[in-house]
Amino acid sequence: MKKKVLLGMSGGIDSTVSAMLLLKQGYEVIGVTFRTYDSMKESCFAKEKGCCTIESVMEAKHNAERMGFEHHIVDFRDTFRRCVIQNFIDEYMSGRTPNPCVLCNHFIKWGEMLSLADELGCEFVATGHYARITERDGHLYLTTAADTRKDQTYFLWMLTEEQLRRTLFPLGDYTKDEVREIARAHGYDKLATKRESQEICFVPDDDYRTFLRENVPDYKERVRAGDYVDAAGNVLGTHAGFVNYTIGQRKGLGIALGHPAYVTHIDAATNRVTLGTNEDMYATSLRFKPHGAALSRWINALGLTAKVRYRSAAVPVIIENEGCMRFATPVWGITPGQSVVVYQDDLLIGGGIIS
């Protein structure tokens, strides 16, 4: 009997090629596309943003039908709003910079989707993420993808070992160029050349400031002009409200100090935004809120590296306790609200939210 797998489909090339590979491997595939947010502005259609358009949903359904397998469209808007969007709003309104993709993977793609898999009798779930799963010493670990440029393990650090046992990543051993060639070979030329969006799916035009203004009921009362200050607390000028800034921001500050200025700290309680130099952006330690118990085994272990941003390089690190880590060399732009993800060679061993 074929093993059944529930495949998350966005209508894009990665999940579509994942379906092709799973079918070739002999799995019985059932596709599912999530309805998580209504964002149907013209800019959304023009940019063909991955999961926000009706076209993308229907393209996923069409691709499933073309390959001859069952497909479902499931409404997860309530859960998405409660678990992902509300966190996004709360974090920004507290002066932090959230990473909604991490929570979406945790609550939707490996929360709601696994529950749906149980209902449909599927042993596995699969997605088009670029990641791999490896067994070491009787434990399963996320492992970086063959295509290191596309590796997405950074966004998957909240997955548990139990979830990994039911997960398939068909693209883990492929490069993006190889995925495009597979699509072309199966007659999906348009899909192979379709632009990919790096934007947040529920934020039109990637404009989080407008999104907050439109979705925080008491925005005007909570977001007011305040002081720019330096590290010593000296007032430098006036800013337009703390939520309009992120750590490391240099452009759009609206202040001239005679040298390039960067946002180094945001204090929502006092409505103060601290400015400094590029040198002030570097730090050698951080505090974080870990998720799960995996990191407890790695306190003071050698050979670990950590990433504080998706595109940043992994830097050698020592986990001093379950809430603090120290880097071997200074790291630029450590940002509260973002994820710090810890690796040993190519194994992802845990992570946390930078506090």
Q: Which residue has the tokens 């046992």?
A: 165
Residue 178 pLDDT: 97
Strands (E), the chain: 4-8, 28-35, 71-75, 124-126, 132-136, 139-143, 167-168, 226-229, 235-239, 262-267, 272-276, 282-290, 304-307, 315-321, 324-332, 339-344, 347-354
324: annotated active-site residue: no
Query: What is the dotted CATH code of the domain comprising 282-354?
Result: 2.40.30.10
> Of these residues, 44, 83, 104, 122, which one is catalytic?
104
Name the DSSP letter for residue 242. Answer: G
CATH number among 3.40.50.620, 1.10.3720.10, 3.40.50.460, 2.30.30.280, domain 224-277: 2.30.30.280
Say whether pLDDT at 57 is over 90.
Answer: no
Q: What is the pLDDT of residues 208-244, one digit of tens each?
A: 999 999 999 999 999 999 999 999 999 999 999 999 9
4-205: what fold? Rossmann fold (3.40.50)
Percent of the chain with pLDDT over 90: 83
Residue 48's pLDDT band, with cuts at 50, 70 and 90, is: very low
Arithmetic mean of pLDDT over the chain: 92
Adjacency order of strands within the sheet including 71-75: 71-75, 28-35, 4-8, 124-126, 167-168
Residue 38 is which amino acid?
D
Q: Select the more confidently predicted residue: 50 or 286.
A: 286
pTM beyond 0.95, yes or no: no
Say whether pLDDT at 67 is over 90.
Answer: yes
Instruction: Return the structure tokens found at 149.
Output: 């440029």
> Of these residues, 44, 52, 83, 201, which one is catalytic?
201
Strand partners, 28: 4
Q: What are the residue ranges spanned by the domains of the chain? A: 4-205, 224-277, 282-354
Say whether pLDDT at 40 is over 50.
Answer: no
Query: Measured between alpha carbons, how far is 157 from 142 in angstroms, rounded to an integer?
Result: 8
Say whether pLDDT at 82 is over 50.
Answer: yes
Percent of the chain with pLDDT over 70: 94
Query: Measured between alpha carbons, how far is 245 from 354 in angstroms, rounded to an integer?
Result: 17
Bridge pairing between strands 347-354 and 339-344: antiparallel
Query: Measured between alpha carbons, how far is 159 from 155 in angstroms, rounded to an integer?
Result: 9
Q: Select the more confidently predicted residue: 195 or 268.
A: 268
52: annotated active-site residue: no
Same fold, 4-205 and 282-354: no
Q: What is the pLDDT of residues 286-332, one digit of tens each?
A: 999 998 777 888 999 999 999 999 999 999 999 998 899 999 999 99
Instruction: Return the structure tokens found at 4.
Output: 């059944």
Rounded average pLDDT over 52-73: 89
CA 321 to chain centre: 25
Say whether pLDDT at 44 is over 50.
Answer: no
Q: What is the pLDDT of residues 157-209, one digit of tens each?
A: 999 999 999 999 999 999 999 999 999 999 999 888 877 766 788 998 889 99
